[in-house]
Amino acid sequence: MKIRSTTILAVRHKGKVALAGDGQVSLGNTVMKHQARKVRRLYHDKVITGFAGATADAFTLYDKLEQKLEQYNGNLMRASVELAKEWRTDKFLRRLEAMLIAVDADHSLLLSGNGDVIEADKGVLAIGSGGPYAQAAALALVAHSDLDAEAICREAMEIAANICVFTNNSIIVETI
C-alpha cells in the first residue's frame, strides 16, 4: 500500500520566513493520524525543516542534515548540497522516499533524492500531495495581499486542506 500524505509550505516574505505543515497521516484512503508534527527545528533552532513522504526516511534525512549542518557550521546551502550528493550516491540513502524543505534566515531550499537542491525564485516552496494547491494560494497571497509570511502560510495551508484529501487543517507553523 502506497503512503500518500501531507502538505509542507515555505514562504519568504517581508523579511521573514515561515514553514508550515499539516498534521494528517494517511495510509491508502484511511486517515491514521490527525496531529503529526512534520515541521522541526535544527541546528540551534536556526533552521526549520518539513518533510513529505515516509516518516522513518524523513527522520533519517533530518539526522543527516543535522550532521551536515554541524559539519559546515550552520551553512544551510553547503550542508544541503552535500546531503543531496550523498543522498543520490549512497546505496542506502538513495532508497529513501521523502522530500525535505529547509529554510534559514537566508535560504529556502527543496531537497530531493534525485540530487535536487532548489531555491525558489519567488520565495515560495511546497511539497507533498497538497503542495501545488498551497503553493498556488501562497503565490497569489504574496502578490495580492498585505499579509506577512506566517499569515500567508496559514491561509494557503487552509486552502490546501479544503482541496486535498491528504491534507488537514491541523497546521503547525514555525518562523524565523
Say if 2 falls within a structural domain. Answer: no
Mean pLDDT of 130-158: 98
CATH for 22: 3.60.20.10
Band (143; pLDDT cuts 50, 70, 90)? very high
Mean pLDDT of 94-110: 94
Band (113; pLDDT cuts 50, 70, 90)? confident
Query: What integer pLDDT is reported at residue 96 of this predicted model?
Result: 86
Q: Above pLDDT 90, what percent of the chain?
A: 80
Say if 77 falls within a structural domain. Answer: yes
Flag whether pLDDT at 5 surpasses 80: no
**Active site residue: 6, 7, 49, 167, which one?**
6
Give how many domains the chain has, as a whole number. 1
Q: What's the predicted TM-score (pTM) here?
A: 0.95
Query: What integer pLDDT is reported at residue 4 of this predicted model?
Result: 55
Flag whether pLDDT at 136 surpasses 70: yes
Say if 174 falls within a structural domain. Answer: no
Q: Can you give the residue range of the structural domain that contains 51?
A: 7-167
Say if 112 falls within a structural domain. Answer: yes
Query: What integer pLDDT is reported at residue 54 of this predicted model?
Result: 86
Say if 66 falls within a structural domain. Answer: yes
Say if 172 falls within a structural domain. Answer: no
Say if 173 falls within a structural domain. Answer: no
| DSSP string over the chain | ------EEEEEEETTEEEEEE---EEETTEEEES----EEEETTTTEEEEEEE-HHHHHHHHHHHHHHHHHTTT-HHHHHHHHHHHHHH-TTGGG--EEEEEE-SS-EEEE-TTS-EEE-SSSEEEEETTHHHHHHHHHHHHHH----HHHHHHHHHHHHHHH-TT--S--EEEE-
Band (1; pLDDT cuts 50, 70, 90)? very low
pLDDT tens digits, one per residue of 31-71:
999 999 999 999 999 999 999 988 889 999 999 999 999 99
Mean pLDDT, the chain, rounded, equals 93
Q: Is 60 a catalytic residue?
A: no
Name which of 8, 2, 3 is nearest 128 in CA terms.
8
Query: What integer pLDDT is reported at residue 2 of this predicted model?
Result: 43
